[in-house]
Homo-oligomer: A and B are copies of this chain.
Amino acid sequence: MAPRKQNTQSDKAPALKGVRRSLQVLEYIALNPGRATDVAEGLNVSWATLHRTLSELEQGGFIARDADSNRYSIGPRMWFIGTAYLAEHKMLEAARPYLDAAAEAGDYTVQLVERSGRLAVTLYSYQTAGEVITKSTYGYHFPLHCGSKGQVLLAYSTPADIEEFLAGPLESLTPETVTQPKQLRKTLKEIKSQGYAQTVGDVQQFTGSLSAPVFDRAQQAVGAVCFITKRSAFRDAETLEEILETLLRTAHSTSLALGWRPGA
């Protein structure tokens, strides 16, 4: 191997290397809990360094190690810190009453999501008790091209942003997931023109979802409201119409509460 490595990133100035690495490790483990060597390999850090990092993180309760298998996963303290994000979240605060009402009104799971990198991240989820929607809770966040929630978020971002996303790897969650950039571009355009997104079976085969964007004072799409329900519901046009109406109303009310004004 050539001893010459590096110059991968456009680091101009070396800054807080250890800190950056430790957070990379945390994120890596969040996505991919497992053994130490795998993390080392995945992130290209020398074993000694990684070991030090893991020890430090574990000691603080930021990651947890299963004593038997030596597998690492995210620790309780990270959950504690993470929840503080919601406590300060203005969109969530604005949306909550409307989400409540929507969850009360219908037989579907109601979620509030926002974008984080290449993922649609769920901020809040009102499960319909007794329903089978397994994958839709916290801890499961999907790439933007999967599911109506991600597509809506993507559709309302800048063209440059869309292209950048589409240039990245587009995985399939089910056989029905659309992964051709060309087709996605078309879909995104439609979404933007009709004001909401709808997908069926591209995240889980037995469910489908509808999502509408939420705007803030600056007319920016900052999140989305998403209703998830079982696939069969998507065959009944009347039901669907009703769900859609509630969805749009919920998103609209939330936007208004955030200071958005229609038109512009």
Contact = CB atoms under 8 A, between A and B. Distances in A.
A220 to B, nearest CB: 14
Nearest to A88: B73
A22 B20 CA distance: 10
Contacts of A101: 129-130
A140 to B, nearest CB: 7
A82 B76 CA distance: 8
A127 to B, nearest CB: 7
A159 B100 CA distance: 42
A67 to B, nearest CB: 12
A26 interface: yes
A53 to B, nearest CB: 7
Pick the most buried of A22, A73, A80, A117: most chain B CB atoms within 10 A of its CB: A80
Given A19-B22, A52-B15, A56-B16, A84 B80 contact: no
Contacts of A141: 80, 83
Interface string A131-143: 0000001111100
Interface in A140-169: 140-141
Contact of A87 (B53, B55, B140): B140
B76 A116 contact: yes
A259 interface: no
Interface in A2-43: 15-16, 18-20, 22-23, 26-27, 29-31, 33
A74 interface: yes
Interface string A116-130: 110101110011011
Nearest to A75: B85
Interface of A: 15-16, 18-20, 22-23, 26-27, 29-31, 33, 52-53, 55-57, 60-62, 73-88, 100-101, 103-104, 114, 116-117, 119, 121-123, 126-127, 129-130, 137-141
10 contacts: A19-B19, A22-B22, A29-B84, A31-B84, A76-B116, A78-B81, A82-B85, A83-B139, A83-B141, A103-B129
